[in-house]
């Protein structure tokens, strides 16, 4: 193929290869802000993901090819992410130093945190914030580690659809934070320009995890993303990421319980879960069914609580002030209220669409699934922010 493009890129595509469905969002840079010009959620054919592990990258390439054709996607800038369950994130307080020196220091530290030979992994780092530790000023850094094999498999999917070089290979847990930056600023009324430090290649920009504008508040906010297989728990203080953990209990566990109580197949249970949660929004409540769902949500809350307790003990923080909820499972009716009472903290549904102009033909479907689009939006935003 032969083609030209004059001027800077206009389009930015975020592709979230989640374990239950592929989500994509394409943003167009506009004078008044980024505009959502395409978005979708596509289920995988049978066998593409088994037990959360990607088994058939070729099928995913084929899906992306089909979506590109049908939705007229532009591959000017393409951002995707690796699942946080396949990465290691470490928070390292280090003495202040120049980038090159910092890189060596972090590589030196990495050995003790990485359970694989270092030559088999990709490392990346970001400066997060200056912190006080035992009376000494330290630079808090985030080290991200992913196995080369995993990175290669994702890069390969995009190479085979014609994307020679991804603009960034992010981590889903960090993309979520990026998607909710505007929402958090609106909620806390803090400053508006994000200033983020960048790590080096090849694991992506890791922007949106560092200091944001002139935020001086000490508010401790948790961003909890409940997907299909895993629940991501991020804790930020003053908009700086301080803690990130992934627990393997999520929407699929709810489906499993429905399957076993009602003797359904997994697919039947999944369909019923979604139908009933939609019906209960419309007022047709099946209380017995909701009780079954709520039992698993209480278990998920238990895992979140354990992570919060660990964070609080480790950081000597007495309180999490607020939880922002996202991910596909956030769509279950009243999950925010239930989690709030289980965790004794305010829980709000995150809105990753703040600041985006929407002009999609399928607007209702996009709004209905906003939380499920968090990762894809956070990814696509990298492209429009980078060019501002």
Would you tell me which residues interact with Mg ion (CB under 5 A)?
18, 227
- Interface with ligand ATP by CB under 6 A: which range of 134-142, 175-183, 234-242, 266-274? 266-274
Judged by CB, which is closer to ligand ATP: 36, or 228?
A: 228
Three-state secondary-structure class, residue 46: coil
Residue 350 in contact with ligand ATP, rule: CB under 6 A: no
Helix-helix angle 266-281:287-315, to 10 degrees:
90
Q: Give the separation between CA 40 and CA 21, rounded to whole angstroms.
A: 10
Residue 181 in contact with ligand ATP, rule: CB under 6 A: no
Residue 277 in contact with ligand ATP, rule: CB under 6 A: yes
Residue 329 in contact with ligand ATP, rule: CB under 6 A: yes
The torsion angles phi and psi of 212, rounded to 5 degrees, stand at: -115, 110
Structure tokens at 112: 């003790």
Q: Outline where DSSP puts E strands in 32-113.
A: 35-43, 49-50, 53-54, 78-82, 87-94
Smallest distance from the beta carbon of 20 to ligand ATP, in angstroms? 3
Which DSSP string do the residues of 116-145 spell out, in sequence order?
A: S-GGGEEEEEEEEEEEEETTEEEEEEEEEE
Structure tokens at 178: 């990026």
Smallest distance from the beta carbon of 372 to ligand ATP, in angstroms? 5
Q: Which residue among 204, 210, 251, 350 contacts ligand ATP (CB under 6 A)?
A: 251
- Interface with ligand ATP by CB under 6 A: which range of 112-120, 176-184, 188-196, 274-282? 274-282
CA neighbor of 365 nearest in space, from 41, 66, 18, 73: 41
Smallest distance from the beta carbon of 118 to ligand ATP, in angstroms? 27
Judged by CB, which is closer to Mg ion: 42, or 219?
A: 42
328: partner contacted, choices Mg ion, ligand ATP, none (Cβ within 5-8 A by kind): ligand ATP
Q: Give the separation between CA 336 and CA 321, rounded to whole angstroms.
A: 15
Alpha-carbon torsion (28, 29, 31, 34), positive or negative? positive
- Interface with ligand ATP by CB under 6 A: which range of 61-69, 201-209, 244-252, 342-350? 244-252
Smallest distance from the beta carbon of 102 to Mg ion, in angstroms? 30
Residue 229 in contact with ligand ATP, rule: CB under 6 A: yes
In the complex, the residues that contact ligand ATP under the rule CB under 6 A are 18-21, 83, 227-230, 250-252, 270, 273-274, 277-278, 327-329, 331-332, 372
């Amino acid at each position: 193929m032969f083609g030209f493009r004059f001027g800077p890129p206009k389009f930015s595509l975020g592709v979230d290869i989640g374990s239950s469905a592929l989500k994509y969002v394409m943003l167009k840079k506009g004078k008044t802000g980024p505009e959502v010009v395409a978005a979708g959620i596509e289920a995988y054919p049978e066998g593409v993901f088994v037990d959360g592990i990607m088994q058939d990258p070729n099928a995913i390439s084929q899906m992306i090819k089909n979506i590109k054709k049908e939705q007229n996607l532009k591959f000017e800038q393409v951002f995707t992410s690796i699942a946080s369950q396949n990465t290691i994130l470490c928070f390292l307080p280090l003495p202040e130093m120049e980038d090159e020196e910092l890189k060596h220091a972090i590589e030196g530290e990495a050995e003790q945190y990485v359970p694989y030979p270092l030559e088999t992994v990709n490392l990346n780092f970001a400066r997060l914030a200056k912190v006080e530790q035992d009376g000494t000023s330290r630079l808090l850094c985030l080290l991200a580690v992913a196995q080369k094999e995993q990175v290669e498999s994702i890069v390969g999917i995009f190479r085979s659809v014609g994307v020679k070089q991804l603009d960034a290979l992010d981590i889903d847990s960090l993309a979520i934070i990026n998607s909710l930056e505007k929402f958090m600023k609106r909620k806390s009324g803090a400053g508006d320009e994000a200033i983020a430090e960048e790590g080096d290649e090849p694991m992506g920009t890791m922007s949106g995890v560092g200091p944001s504008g002139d935020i001086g508040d000490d508010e401790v906010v948790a961003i909890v993303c409940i997907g299909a297989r895993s629940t991501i728990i991020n804790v930020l203080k003053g908009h700086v990421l301080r803690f990130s953990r992934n627990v393997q209990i999520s929407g699929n566990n709810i489906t499993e319980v429905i399957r076993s109580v009602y003797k359904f197949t997994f697919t039947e249970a999944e369909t019923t879960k979604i139908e009933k949660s939609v019906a209960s929004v419309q007022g047709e409540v099946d209380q017995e069914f909701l009780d079954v769902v709520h039992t698993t949500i209480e278990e998920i809350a238990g895992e979140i609580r354990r992570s919060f307790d660990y964070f609080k003990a480790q950081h000597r923080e007495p309180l999490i002030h607020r939880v922002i909820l996202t991910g596909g499972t956030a769509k279950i009716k009243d999950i925010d209220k239930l989690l709030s009472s289980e965790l004794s903290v305010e829980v709000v549904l995150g809105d990753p669409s703040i600041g985006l102009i929407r002009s999609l033909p399928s607007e209702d479907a996009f709004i209905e699934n906003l939380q499920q689009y968090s990762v894809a939006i956070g990814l696509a935003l990298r492209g429009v922010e980078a060019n501002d």
